[in-house]
Structures are given as C-alpha cells and as structure tokens.
Structure 1
Amino acid sequence: MDKQQILDLYDWADGVCFRHPGRGEVLTTVVGVIHPREDREREVRACADCVIRMEDIRREDAARSGSAYEPGRLGEALR
C-alpha cells in the first residue's frame, strides 16, 4: 500500500496533533483516547505525517515478530 491508501483508511477532521501542537489545527485522525482521572476522556489526534510514521513502526514491529501487519488500526493498537 502507498501512503495515500493508508491515510484513506482513517477518518480525518480538524484538530491538534499530539506531537506537533505548535502547528495549530490541521487535518488529524484519532489514534487513541486518554482518561484523565480529574477530567473527561480526551482524544489523542495525529496528523498525516505522524500517522505514516506510526504505521511504519507498526509494520517494522510486525515484520520483526513475524506477526501480520494490517494498516488502519492505530487507535485499536493503542487501546
């Protein structure tokens, strides 16, 4: 799969990337949810660059461990 095909597996909306908050609002997707003790749950959002980087890491980890790699499941992997 090429990068655009991987990105197309996710739902995108304006948000702030957890790794690049200085960029302000950009297109992001939910890659996790945190549950702070003193507050409501919060979505962890990532920009396209970070999604591709995280997918690359998942693919490399799967290859090393002999596991199957299926793109488009970042939020599931972090839960």
Structure 2
Amino acid sequence: MNRQQILDLYTWRAGVCFRHPDRGEVPTTLVKVLHPLDTDEHPLRACEDCVVAIEDTKRETAKRTGGTYEPGQVGGSAG
C-alpha cells in the first residue's frame, strides 16, 4: 500500500500529535485514550507522518516475525 492508501484507512480531524506538539494543530487520528488515575481521559492523537511511521514499523515487525500485518490498526483499531 502507498502512503495515501494507508492514510485513507483512518478518520482525521484537527488535533495535536503526541510526538510533534510543536507543530500545533494538524490533521490527526485517535491512537489511544489514556485514563490517568488523577484526571479525566486523555486522547492520544497522531499526525500523518507518525501514523505512516508506526504502520511501517508494524509491517517490518510482522515480516521479521512471520506475523500478519493489517494496515489501519494503529492503536488497535482504525480511528
């Protein structure tokens, strides 16, 4: 799959990437919702570059270990 095909698997909205907060609001997708004990839930969002990097890592890991790679599952589910 190419970059755009992978990005099309996700739902995007303006937000702040957990790895690149200095970029400000950019298109992001929900990766996970954290539930700290002392505060309300905290959505963890990733930008397009991070999603592609995470997908690349997941694909390489699956190839190396003989596992199955399913694009669109960053954070466990499409989002």
The unaligned stretches of length 5 or more in structure 1 are none
Deviation per CA, 1:38-60: give whole Å up to 9, x if none.
Answer: 11111110000000000000000
The 5 A counterparts of 1:1-79 are 1-76=1-76
> 1:7 offset after TM fit, Å?
0.2
> CA separation in 2, counterparts of 1:26 and 1:10?
14
| Cα RMSD, aligned residues only | 1.0
Runs of 4+ in 1 over 4 A off after TM superposition: none
Count of residues paired in the alignment: 77
Where in structure 2 are there 5+ consecutive unaligned residues? none
Percent identity of equivalent pairs = 58
